[in-house]
Structure 1
Amino acid sequence: MTNTQREERPERPAESDGTAHLFRALGRQLKFLRERAGMNQRELASLVHCGEDLVSAIERGVRTPQVDFLASADRALDTGGFLSVAAEEVREALARARTRHPGWFRDYARMEAEAVALHNYSNQAVPGLLQTEGYARALFARRRPLLDEETIEKRVTDRLARQRIFEQWPLPTFSFVLEEVVLQRPIGGPAVHADQLKKLLHVGGMRNVELQVLPTATEEHPNLDGAFTLLTPKGRKEVAYTEVQGHARLITDPDEVRVVSERHGIMRAQALTPRESLTLIEKMWRDR
């Protein structure tokens, strides 16, 4: 693969096989078993040591249930091993997901999932790794040309599934620089906007995440070429990834990566500090 290779946007994961159907079916089964046990989502979440929103997302089939979650839920709901057996299907589904992308995206998807460090700059929308379900669905629903409902649901599922990177151990290092206008744009309406701001506060408070806002009033800007992601795969050198108008590019040339990295460093220096950024986001959330 050359450093300048560009291809059309690939078919999204879960659109090419039955993986999405598996996760939706498993979610319905989890809901049935939970209700049979007389528990609500909050009670189950407490027993398996996760958030209520995660239980809800798994039951709706928009988050990939991790093997550890299924094992814990199996014990909490006393299913006699039913959910633990399902974990093997999940392992196989995730293995298929790693091999069904076109070559250039397969490399990026694998590196993102195994990254020890990831740094992102976004100037149009909240990056996919930080999006709520409602925000992601609103984006896909308004994309042109219009997508059918089934495709929208599949793409939302894929986007949320990528967020399991935050659950890995050892914890990767993350930094995000968001243009202030990204936070001001109420994509999906007031309720979705409020939930998205709240999620940013939650993720920005994680000890391995630094989230910074670049004020619109900033008079100088080192990068007007669009959004990008810098990531460091385990045991490998840093690479950069860009995606513009349906064309993606994985940048591996050291000199090109250095330019992107320099721009990112300058923007971080110009942006509000992480503490100032979270204070601003909290104010926007309270004043919405």
Structure 2
Amino acid sequence: MGEWEAGLDDEEAGAVMRTVTRQLKLWREAAGLTQAEFGAAIKYGEELVSSVERGRRIPRPEYLDAADEVLGAGGKISAMKKDVAEIRYPKMVRDLKNLEEEAVELCAYNTSVIHGLLQTEDYARAVFNAHRPALTEDEVEQQVTARLARQEILDLMTGRRVFSFVQCESTLRRPMGGRMVMRQQIERLLEVAQLRNVDLQVLPLDREVNSGTGGSFRLLKLKRGTTVAFSESPLSSRVTADPKETTVLDIRYGALRAQALSPQDSLPLIEKALGETRT
């Protein structure tokens, strides 16, 4: 099941799981099937069926589809797939994803790696594989899946959302995952930079002033007029809507945009970095 293990300390996920597992058990018992018989019918082991019904494993979409067909639920079980899929991500990732979806403007400065919304799958995997202490393979895949799911908001069809990214030049020079992975990542940056609702700027390493030496952060300006700041540190990430703090970061971001190359002037530097991955 991998990334579909249930987080027992996540109240929101727990509430969804209790509803889903209760329905699965009721439908199975109404059909007169034991866990072993039901598992054989949907081609899953009895132990897995038991883990799902006890709320210890999150059922995958194919599990729910098979259960719906075998139990004759007429789509009622399959309809739970969307809610179930969402809770496989850590709560902080879900909360951040919800904030990003509500935002009308997203501003982000990154000093060590390419911003998560801009990362390719292989680049994201390299980032998480670099964590120390090391993450397990399942934890890496969980984080990569969650990160890629957040990138849906970059689609122009999602609305009039505006994105502004300032990347330190060092993020273009650090070959995360190797030369081929980095080449594909920089190609992705050039693609995203063409979107009408995206401004992508690079802060060159030769600038004498860099207002972002304190680390990476992002600002989310929500529809209701609130600004939420998300800052990162080696051991934790922090979300705040305190105007005293968000105002400081808003001023800092304005300074970073002024210090960086314009979106148009940033493209040649990104293209130069791409060329260097081919030599």
Normalised to the residue count of structure 2, the TM-score between the two structures is 0.69
Q: What SS does structure 2 have at the residue aligned with 1:200?
A: helix
Which residue does the alignment assign to 1:166? 154
Partner of 2:191: 202
- SS of corresponding position for 1:239: strand
Separation (CA, whole Å) in 2 of partners of 1:189 and 1:267: 28
Once the two structures are superposed, what CA deviation does each residue of 1:228-252 show, in whole Å capped at 9, x if it has no partner?
0000122231111112112121121
1:250 aligns with 2:239: yes
Q: CA deviation at 1:23?
A: 8.1
Cross-structure match for 2:58: 18
Whether 1:280 and 2:265 are equivalent positions in the alignment is no
Cα pair distance change 1:254/1:241, threshold 3 Å? same
Match of 1:112 in 2: 100
Where structure 2 has 5 or more consecutive residues not aligned to the other structure, the ranges are: 7-56, 66-74
* Structure-to-structure mapping, 1:1-288, within 5 angstroms: 16=6, 18=58, 21-22=60-61, 88-93=79-84, 96=87, 101=91, 107-167=95-155, 168-288=157-277
2:104–2:161 contact (8 Å) kept in structure 1: yes
Give how far 1:24 is off: 11
Deviation at 1:88, TM superposition (A): 3.7
Structure 2 contact 126–177 (Cα < 8 Å) conserved: yes
How far apart are 1:87 and its partner, in Å? 8.1
How far did residue 92 of structure 1 move? 2.3
Residues of 2 paired with 1:135 and 1:23: CA distance?
Answer: 28
SS in 1 for 2:158: coil
Larger radius of gyration: 2
> What secondary structure is seen at the aligned counterpart in 1 of 2:206?
coil
Residues 118 and 175 in structure 1, CA contact (< 8 A), matched pair in contact too? yes
Are the counterparts in 1 of residues 58 and 88 from structure 2 also a CA contact under 8 Å? Answer: no
C-alpha RMSD of matched pairs (Å): 2.7
Give how far 1:276 is off.
1.1
Q: Which runs of 5+ in 1 are unaligned?
A: 1-12, 27-83
Equivalent position amino acid for 1:140 in 2 = F
Q: Distance in 1 between matches of 2:165 and 2:273?
A: 18
Contact 1:15–1:151 (Cα < 8 Å) also in 2 = no
Higher-RCO chain (CA-CA 8 Å, sequence separation at least 6): 1
Q: Distance in 1 between matches of 2:164 and 2:203?
A: 13
Q: Percent identity?
A: 39
Distance 1:174 1:87, change over 3 A: farther
Q: Is the 8 A contact 1:14 1:158 kept in 2?
A: no
The CA distance in 1 between the partners of 2:4 and 2:153, in whole Å, is: 18
The answer as to whether partners of 2:110 and 2:167 remain within 8 angstroms in 1 is yes
Of 223-232 and 167-176, deviating more is 167-176
Deviation at 1:177, TM superposition (A): 0.3
TM-score, length-normalised on structure 1?
0.67
> What is the identity, as a one-letter code, of the residue corresponding to 2:181?
V
